Amino acid sequence: MEDKDRFCLIMSYLFKAEGGYSNHKYDKGGVTNYGITQKTYDAFRKKKNLTSQSVVKITKDEAYNLYYEDFWCASGADKIENTALACVLFDACVNHGVALGKSLYLKSDGNINTFLNLRREKYKNIVKNNPTQKVFLKGWLNRIDNLEKFIKNELPKRLSIS
């Protein structure tokens, strides 16, 4: 399976996980659309020599390209043969930032269950250190549970069809 095909397959999960527009008062990322913050969107548009605009206006195609360049390839997920592991790394980099996502990946030694558990612990520590973030904890933990279901159930089916 080609890298772009694997990425498309994984994006079917990620777009569901990230949802659309959000502007929660306790979200440290501020306004987001398709899970992309204004800061990330501004940097992407600048890199493409495009003028800044509100992340509210981001198109799904533009989000797809941003995720491919700034998260999928930047994380190294494109180089990982195990699609499930690549998916977990990519999702971690999207949700935690590329540097922390890669750090958790290295700590997991490539073990998917360890990686997922490290992420669960990271979310719990975020809340422990900043109780205002508790409002997000259930959603974050659900995200990991849904990712686990996707890589165990949905991903194998879709990979066998390709």
Say what the pLDDT of residue 160 is.
67
Give the domain extent around 17: 3-161
pLDDT at residue 1 in the model = 59
For residue 27, the model assigns a pLDDT of 73
Rounded Cα gap, residues 155 and 128, in angstroms: 33
Query: Residue 154 has what pLDDT?
Result: 86
User: Domains in the chain: how many in total?
Assistant: 1
Note whether 77 and 90 are within 8 A (CB): yes
Q: How far is CA 148 from CA 121, 137, 143, 159, in A?
A: 15, 17, 9, 16
Please give the pLDDT value at position 3: 77
Unique residue bearing structure tokens 């205002």: 132
pTM of the model: 0.91
Q: Report which residue type is found at 153.
A: N
Q: What is the pLDDT of residues 78-96, one digit of tens each?
A: 999 999 999 999 999 999 9
pLDDT at 29: 73
We report the CATH number of the domain holding residue 40 as: 1.20.141
- Output the pLDDT for position 98: 97
Task: Enumerate residue ranges in the chain where pLDDT < 50.
Answer: none
